[in-house]
């Protein structure tokens, strides 16, 4: 009789804790599905207070105001050493292809999950002499989720003039590789 009580207690406890964990996972998945299905337009605020409007499509992303340009969508953080190391490469590519190419960088905030302060981000931009668009808003996190859940930074997406994602880079990438892909996207 004692064995039955102990076995019942262990099985009941296991089922209760297992059920709670799976419900939380299901909630998270439901929230992700809602974001993926419902929100397809995003308004990002750049550090110079411009609004960048993105629209997620089946093939990639359309950038309002940047039509006809190849866009490198860059998910980064100011505290990330590889993100800082790639800035000179992005500056060079932006300068070299300025009429046909744009970098849109989305700051993913601090290690604590909060947005980077405007002052800190502006100091960072000045220190690294960033010559491309940098955004800092809650929408950045939603765009990261819609792009497949950016888990590693830097993560970059090269998007051609029609809004199709032609390349995804995870981690630091040599400038020559990105330039080769930009040339391909330009038809060169």
Same domain, 56 and 74: yes
Are the C-beta atoms of 129 and 94 separated by less than 8 Å?
Answer: no
pLDDT, tens digit, 9 for 90 and up, residues 142-165: 999 999 889 899 999 999 999 999
CATH number at residue 140: 3.40.30.10
Same domain, 95 and 145: yes
Same domain, 11 and 66: no
Same domain, 80 and 167: yes
Same domain, 18 and 34: yes
pLDDT class of 38 with cuts at 50, 70, 90 = low
Residue percentage of the chain with pLDDT more than 90:
61
pLDDT class of 27 with cuts at 50, 70, 90 = very low
Flag whether pLDDT at 33 surpasses 70.
no
Same domain, 31 and 45: no
DSSP element (H, E) containing 72: strand 70-76
Same domain, 139 and 177: yes
Same domain, 83 and 172: yes
Same domain, 140 and 127: yes
Number of domains, the chain:
2
pLDDT, tens digit, 9 for 90 and up, residues 125-144: 999 999 999 999 999 999 99
Q: Which residue(s) pair with 169 in the sheet?
A: 156
pLDDT class of 5 with cuts at 50, 70, 90 = low
Same domain, 72 and 135: yes
Question: In the prediction, which pLDDT does 154 show?
Answer: 95
Q: Which residues make Cβ contacts (< 8 Å) with residue 13, sequence separation at least 6? A: none
Same domain, 123 and 171: yes
For residues 155 and 173, give the distance between their C-alpha atoms in angstroms, rounded to a whole number: 10
Same domain, 14 and 102: no
Are the C-beta atoms of 177 and 170 separated by less than 8 Å?
Answer: no
| Alpha-helical segments (H) within the chain | 2-38, 81-96, 118-128, 139-146, 175-186
Domain that holds residue 179: 41-186
Flag whether pLDDT at 108 surpasses 80.
yes
């Amino acid at each position: 009789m004692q064995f039955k009580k102990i076995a019942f207690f262990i099985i009941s406890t296991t089922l209760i804790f297992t059920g709670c964990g799976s419900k939380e996972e299901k909630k998270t998945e439901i929230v992700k599905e809602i974001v993926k299905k419902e929100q397809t337009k995003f308004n990002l605020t750049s550090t110079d207070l411009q609004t960048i409007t993105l629209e997620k499509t089946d093939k990639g992303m359309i950038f309002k105001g940047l039509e006809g340009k190849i866009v490198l969508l860059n998910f980064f953080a100011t505290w990330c050493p590889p993100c800082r190391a790639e800035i000179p490469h992005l500056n060079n590519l932006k300068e070299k292809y300025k009429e046909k190419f744009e970098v849109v960088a989305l700051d993913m905030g601090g290690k604590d999950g909060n947005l980077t302060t405007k002052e800190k981000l502006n100091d960072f931009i000045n220190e690294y002499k960033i010559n491309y668009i940098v955004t800092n808003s809650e929408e950045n996190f939603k765009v990261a989720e819609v792009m497949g859940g950016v888990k590693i930074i830097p993560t970059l997406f090269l998007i051609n003039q029609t809004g199709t994602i032609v390349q995804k880079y995870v981690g630091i990438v040599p400038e020559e590789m990105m330039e080769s892909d930009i040339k391909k996207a330009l038809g060169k």
